[in-house]
Amino acid sequence: MKGQHYDPFTEKKKGLFHREKEVPKETETNANAMAEALNENVHEHFSDVPAHHEANIRDEVEQEAEAAEMTADAAASEEKVEDPTPISEPPRAQDSTFNPKPVRRRYSHPISAMVAAGFWIRTVAFLIDAVVASAFAGIFASPVNALFLTEGSMAAKAVSGFFFYLYFVLSTYFTNGQSLGKMITGIRVIHPEEPRLSWTTVVIREGFCRFIQTTFVLLYVITAFSERKRNLGDFLSDTYVVKDALYAVEKNEGELFYAYEN
């Protein structure tokens, strides 16, 4: 009974809130015995192994454990990583001064009334061109008529007429809408869908239609009463005669002059 007697002086003092779990004496004895047996067993089997070899073995085991943990962490992180491929952005204009033209609304005509050349200014341009075309025809038709044709015959008049209209065709095509008379008066022939007038447009307007209008001069009166001051050649070839300087401004500014229409 002495072994089981409680001695308050030898008992370790414990705080009110600090209590340690007491290990039974029998359990401590068994644990000490097992530890001694294990040490003896290890000493018997590994007594020949140097101490530094044992340290190397422990280091290898620890490194393998760390490598396994790192592999597991890497596998878990790969599942969470998103696709690093960046989304390609749309190409941007390299030129910082790029300024697209403003989009125009749908109007009945591609040019405003302020830009269209009037009847009288077109009449002045035609009179100047008529004088120049007559001189052009006289220079090139006279040798042909003198050598091959009788002066005053229908064939001679046809040759003179051919060179007369050829002047309008060539001057309008190679200057992109400006004969000499149009250059002086500051007007130009334009086609809304052709940045440069095509041969088909020029031949229809300055060849075929001009021949009809000079044969029937009253057809020029259509220009004075038509919208945007268009004549027969403009209607058939889908062209307009514009004031060159104002048209250049309107082409860059879009709807600038449409607001001033009546």
The DSSP secondary-structure symbol of 194 reads: B
CA 121/CA 83 separation, integer angstroms:
69
Backbone angles phi, psi at 200, to 5 degrees: -60, -45
If one counts the domains in the chain, the total is: 1
Does residue 36 have a pLDDT over 70? no
**Other C-beta atoms within 10 Å of 230: how many?**
19
Q: Which one, of 178, 172, 181, lies nearest residue 125 by Cα?
A: 181
Domain extent at residue 149 = 119-253
Which of 137, 189, 136, 127 is closest to 158 using CA atoms?
137
Is 124 among the domain residues?
yes
Within a domain: 132: yes
Q: 37-51, 60-74, 104-118, 237-251: which has the minimum mean pLDDT?
A: 37-51
Alpha helices in the chain (DSSP H): 25-45, 51-80, 119-148, 154-174, 180-185, 199-202, 210-215, 222-225, 232-237, 244-253
Examine residue 60 and state whether it is found in any structural domain, yes or no.
no
In a domain, 66, yes or no: no
Domain-embedded: residue 245:
yes
In the structure, what pLDDT confidence band is assigned to residue 78 with cuts at 50, 70 and 90? low
Within a domain: residue 188?
yes
* Spatial separation of the C-alpha atoms in residues 159 and 179, rounded to whole Å: 21
Q: What angle (nearest 5°) sits at the alpha carbon of residue 260, between those of residues 257 and 262?
A: 130
Q: Does some domain include residue 199? A: yes
pLDDT (0 to 100) of residue 67 = 73
| Amino acid at the residue 206 | E
Handedness of CA 131, 135, 140, 146 (dihedral sign): positive
Burial class (CB in 10 A: 0-12, 13-18, 19+), 121: middle
Residue 97's pLDDT is 56
Model pTM score: 0.58
Mean pLDDT of 1-24: 50
Task: Tokens for 115, please give them.
Answer: 């830009």
For 260, residues 6+ apart whose C-beta sits below 8 A from its C-beta are: 112, 113, 114
In this prediction, what percent of the chain has a pLDDT beyond 90?
42
Look at residues 241, 165, 176 and name the one whose alpha carbon lies nearest to residue 204.
165
For residue 1, is pLDDT > 50?
no
The overall average pLDDT reported for the chain is: 77
160 in a domain, yes or no?
yes
